[in-house]
Structures are given as C-alpha cells and as structure tokens.
C-alpha cells in the first residue's frame, strides 16, 4: 500500500498585506454583504469576482420562504458574471460574511460544496487558476486556486 496526501496552501494575511487589487476585491465582497437578502438565516454573504476584462462583479446570497431554494453568494456571483461576460476569465474571487449581530465573521468562511463545484467549472474553462480570498474581520486567507478548495474534484465525464 502507498499513502499520499493533499496539502492545502493557505496564506494568512493582514489587510495591509493585500495588493491594491486584492484590497478592492475584498472591499467589494464586504460591501456586497449589505445587499444580501437573508431574512431566514440572517447570515449575510457577499462575493466579488475579478474578471480578466477588468470588470468586478459582486453578488450576495438570496433566500426565500422555501429555504433550500435560495442561492449562495458565490453562485449568485459566478453565474451572473459568466452570463454577463461569457468571454472573460475569472481571475480571483473574494468572499465575506456577516452574522446575525451584523459583525463580519472573525474567521473567514469558505464556500459550500456546491459553490466549490460551480467555481471549479469556471476555473477549468478559463484555463488558469482563480485566486481565492476568504475574508475575515481582521485577516484574509489567500489560496492560489479553486482546486485547493476541492481536492480530488470531479471535473469531467
């Protein structure tokens, strides 16, 4: 028997260690939490995607009374970004969340499984890694690629 393991590289950065472009993306993800519609969970999530054409698209989670049919911020954003700019690659995504007390999450949140799969699809068709910025109140986790969020991913059939 052989053993193997997959290492997830995570850089933990203070806000002043981000590049100007990363800072802007983080700010847009934070801002998007204020446009969340989350009356059921009261968990407000925002995402912002940097596109290769220079645009930034942001979005938030949107819930409804049939609770499971709502959409996470990450999928709201990636589906809108690709439907609005189908030719543009995704270069980076930032994700932020605020809890019921309205404060930003101290520890960064990480996308759910369905959102990881959706984001991976855009990484594959874009042909280059999408940088992932998981935004906490005081620090940001930076991962080089969506692959790091979804080891042993199912990518094609």
The catalytic site residues sit at: 74
Question: What is d(CA 58, CA 105) in angstroms, rounded to the nearest whole number?
Answer: 18
Q: How far is the CB of 67 from ligand THU (least distance, A)?
A: 8
* Binding of ligand THU by 74 (CB under 6 A): yes
C-alpha span between 24 and 119 (Å, rounded) = 20
C-beta of 19 vs 64, nearer to ligand THU:
64
Q: Nearest distance from residue 15's CB to ligand THU, in Å?
A: 21
Interface with ligand THU includes 59 (CB under 6 A)? no
| Residue (75 or 82) nearer to ligand THU, CB | 75
Strand order in the sheet with 44-51: 11-14, 139-143, 131-135, 90-98, 44-51, 56-60
- For position 72 contacting ligand THU by CB under 6 A, the verdict is yes
Paired tokens of 26 = 């983080």
User: Beta strands 131-135 and 90-98: pairing type?
Assistant: parallel
Footprint on residues 96-155 left by ligand THU (CB under 6 A) = 109, 111-112, 115
| Contact between 38 and ligand THU per CB under 6 A | yes
User: Is the C-alpha dihedral spanning 48, 147, 88, 69 positive or negative?
Assistant: negative
Interface residue list for ligand THU (CB under 6 A):
38, 41, 43, 45, 61, 63, 70, 72-74, 109, 111-112, 115
């Amino acid at each position: 028997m052989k053993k193997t393991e997959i290492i997830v590289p995570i850089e933990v950065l203070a806000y002043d260690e981000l590049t100007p472009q990363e800072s802007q993306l983080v700010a847009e993800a934070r801002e998007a939490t204020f446009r969340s519609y989350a009356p059921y969970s009261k968990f407000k999530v925002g995402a912002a995607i940097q596109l290769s054409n220079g645009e930034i698209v942001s979005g938030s989670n949107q819930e409804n009374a049939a609770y499971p049919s709502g959409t996470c911020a990450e999928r709201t954003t990636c589906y809108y970004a690709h439907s609005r700019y189908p030719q543009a690659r995704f270069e980076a995504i930032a994700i932020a969340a605020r809890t019921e007390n309205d404060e930003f999450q101290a520890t960064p949140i990480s996308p759910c499984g369905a959102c990881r799969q959706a984001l991976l699809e855009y990484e594959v068709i874009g042909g280059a890694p999408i940088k992932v910025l998981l935004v906490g109140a005081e620090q940001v986790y930076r991962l080089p690629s969506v692959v790091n969020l979804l080891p042993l991913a199912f990518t094609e059939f």
